[in-house]
A = this chain, B = another copy of it.
Amino acid sequence: MKNIITINRQFGSGGREVAKRLADVLQIAYYDKELIRQIADKTNFSPEFIAETSETMNPYPLVFANTFAHTSLSPADTIQIAQTDFIKELAEKEDCIIVGRCANSILADTAFKVFIYSSDMEERIERCYQKVPNDREMPKKKMEKQILAVDKQRGKYHSFSTGQNWADMSNYDLCIDTSKLGVKKAVELIVVGYHLFFNL
Contacts and interface: CB of A to CB of B under 8 A. Distances in A.
Nearest to A177: B173
Interface in A165-200: 167, 169-177, 180-181, 185, 188-189, 192-193, 196-197
A181 B196 contact: yes
Contact of A119 (B170, B181, B193, B197): B170
Contacts of A169: 115, 117, 167, 169, 175, 177
Contacts of A172: 175, 177
A163 to B, nearest CB: 15
Contact of A176 (B174, B177, B180): B174
Contacts of A174: 174-177, 181, 189
Nearest to A188: B196
Interface in A90-132: 115, 117, 119
Contacts of A175: 169, 172, 174-176
Contact of A170 (B170, B177, B181, B193): B177
15 contacts: A169-B169, A169-B175, A172-B175, A173-B176, A173-B180, A173-B181, A174-B174, A174-B177, A175-B176, A181-B197, A188-B192, A189-B189, A189-B192, A189-B193, A189-B196
